[in-house]
Amino acid sequence: MQANAWPAPSESAEIDICSRSKITHDLQPFALCSDPSHTLFLSQGVLSNISSITDLGGFDPVWLFLVVGGVMFILGFAGCIGALRENTFLLKFFSVFLGIIFFLELTAGVLAFVFKDWIKDQLYFFINNNIRAYRDDIDLQNLIDFTQEYWQCCGAFGADDWNLNIYFNCTDSNASRERCGVPFSCCTKDPAVRATAH
């Protein structure tokens, strides 16, 4: 009888095959979605002109997406390989960084609650800047239209916010045919019509 070439794992280090399969299955979407090549593709599409509408002092938000995607890829890879190979170092690395991310999210939530007025002001400032640039970028225009249709809103405070846009403002010098109007996405259905549609 031939001796087994692999040492038998101790009971404490052994990982159940069902747990290993579940962890691997759960981590695959993270590894695929966070692949840096997907983030690079996004940076050439909708996100390519986002720095022109944000006032972040030269910081391009696409880099944030690249870093987050890279971290997610590394964590997903470590979790998958750690579960498949029963590598306790990779599993501990995965667990520790998931814990760190959880506490960072918890901290961000507490800070968002504490500074909610400042965040609200920044959000209104951001929305109004985007309203000014509505017709300048087709991707931004589609994003604003989607947002207004989804949340059934019109501007940050109301339809009067569209006076900030050179095409929709109500000044006498505005010769646009959209003068004193709003984008189509501001128009919501009558509540009676919405109730019968569902």
For the segment 28-86, what is each residue's pLDDT rounded down to a tens digit?
666 665 555 555 555 555 555 555 555 556 666 778 888 888 888 888 888 888 888 88
How does pLDDT run across 113-161, given as a tens digit for each residue? Answer: 999 999 999 888 888 888 888 888 888 888 888 888 888 888 888 888 8
Burial of 184 (0-12, 13-18, 19+ CB in 10 A): exposed
**pLDDT for 39:** 53
What's the pLDDT at 128?
A: 87
Q: pTM for the full model?
A: 0.53
Q: Report how far residue 30's alpha carbon sits from residue 19's, in angstroms, rounded to the nearest whole number.
A: 17
Q: Which domains does the chain have, with CATH numbers?
A: 17-49+58-114 (no CATH), 116-197 (1.10.1450)
Given a contact cutoff of 8 angstroms between Cβ atoms, the answer to whether 141 and 135 are in contact is: yes
pLDDT tens digits, residue range 154-188?
Answer: 888 888 888 888 888 888 888 888 888 888 888 76
Q: Which two tokens mark 90?
A: 């990779």
Q: Where are the alpha helices (DSSP H) in 34-115?
A: 36-43, 50-53, 61-84, 88-114
